[in-house]
Amino acid sequence: MLSDRILNEVLVHTLQRVIPKKTQLANIISEALSMEKETVYRRLRGVTMFTLAEVAVLSQKFNFSLDEIIIDVEKSTSVTNMMLRSFYAEKKKETEENAYSTISFVEDFIKDKDTQFGMALKSLPFPVIMPYKSISDYYKYKYKLHEKDLSKPLYFKDVRQLLEWEQGSMDETYNLFRNISHTIYIWDKKIIPIIVNDIIYFKSLGLMDKEDVADLKKELLSLMDSMEETASKGIFNNTGNKCDIYISDEDIDATYAYLWSENRCTSLLITHHMYILVSYNNKSKCKEIRDWVSSMKFNSTLISGTGGKERISFFKQQREVIENL
């Protein structure tokens, strides 16, 4: 069954693509639909969904095809759902079903020759954070803050629900991604400062306590140790597969991701902790994302397997920021 939420996400991404004035997106849609701006913001955030009548008006106004959106989503909604829900689901059955679907999906890519996984990162990559319980909970927390209107404060402890059975499937997915032949990460250097600032802010509101902050600090430092070890060798320890890590000298506006092999491909845009499928098995569309990620290398510094001075300096700076917690 086609998900209203997935349709809404793809529609929002389409509107962001076809309306050139991104900073005036809400104003332009508000005028086109004769709708209050606050209502438009709720649609754009996914709190409420665009109606069919509203979608029809927007497609006519901004000249995009309803058929193309629906066909693309129908072909690949299961891919988006499993990658999103396997991380954010709360019920055991739902988590297991989506986790196993994700594992099976990635396994098909690994069977192909010379599979490549690339990400330009606005936030920490999901294949990296999965073994870290507190960091994973942090992203679940951020997601829930945007998922719905909150009539009362949402405390960090309320979402710290990663049970043993859930963590097991995440560990399996984490190890699976390391079996991909070649991984490319392009990091926005502000990722860690943004996380630290968020944690300090949530603590100041009383939404996180000292124990929460201490757990996050410990895991963030451990993550930096693991990433630095990978970067120094240019490979994943447990598999020996290649991992290139770049540090971007420009701000990255969202997380762009792709999986590419000789037989299949998929690409994603990850924004506000939501996974928006750009394409599935459409080589030309996947290639656009792959080329976009590749182009970011020109304004980035490679710190894996080489660039020792830059690598040491980068991780030193990240640890200093984390120590402020």
Of 49, 64, 79, the position where a domain reaches its end is: 64
Q: Indicate whether 310 belongs to any domain.
A: yes
23 and 130 in a single domain? The answer is: no
Residues 147, 258, single domain; the answer is yes
74 is a domain residue: no
In 3D space, the residue among 289, 219, 223 whose CA is nearest the CA of residue 255 turns out to be: 289
Least confidently predicted of 29-43, 156-170, 279-293: 156-170
**pLDDT tens digits for 246-267?**
999 998 888 888 989 888 888 8
CATH code for the domain in which residue 124 is found: 3.30.870
Q: Which segments of the chain are extended strands (E)?
A: 116-121, 182-188, 242-248, 255-260, 265-271, 274-280, 300-302
85, part of any domain = no
Residue in the structure block whose two tokens are 């990460």: 185
Does one domain contain both 181 and 314? yes
Residue 222: give the domain boundaries.
Answer: 92-322
Same domain, 10 and 141: no
pLDDT given for residue 319 in this prediction: 97
Question: Number of folded domains in the chain?
Answer: 2
pLDDT per residue as tens digits for the range 43-101: 887 778 888 888 888 888 888 776 556 555 544 444 444 455 545 545 555 555 555 66
Both 27 and 137 in one domain: the answer is: no
- The domain boundary residue, chosen from 23, 49, 64: 64
Quick one: 200 and 273 in the same domain?
A: yes
pLDDT > 90? residue 41: no
Asked, for residue 146, whether it belongs to a domain, the answer is yes
**23 and 107, same domain (yes or no):** no
pLDDT in tens, 95-129: 555 556 667 778 888 888 789 999 999 888 888 88
Residue 212 near residue 156, CB atoms below 8 Å: yes
Q: Are residues 10 and 155 in the same domain?
A: no
Q: Where does the pLDDT of residue 159 fall: very low under 50, low under 70, confident under 90, or very high at 90 and above? A: confident
Could you tell me the CA-to-CA distances from 290 to 119, 122, 263, 275, 294 in Å, in that order?
9, 16, 15, 17, 6
Q: Do 21 and 157 belong to one domain?
A: no
Q: Which of 43-47, 190-194, 232-236 has the lowest mean pLDDT?
A: 43-47
Give me the count of residues in the chain.
Answer: 325
- Of the candidates 233, 231, 129, 239, which has an alpha carbon nearest to the alpha carbon of residue 186? 231
Q: What is the mean pLDDT of the chain?
A: 81
Same domain, 194 and 250: yes
Amino acid 5 reads R
Q: Are residues 106 and 43 in the same domain?
A: no
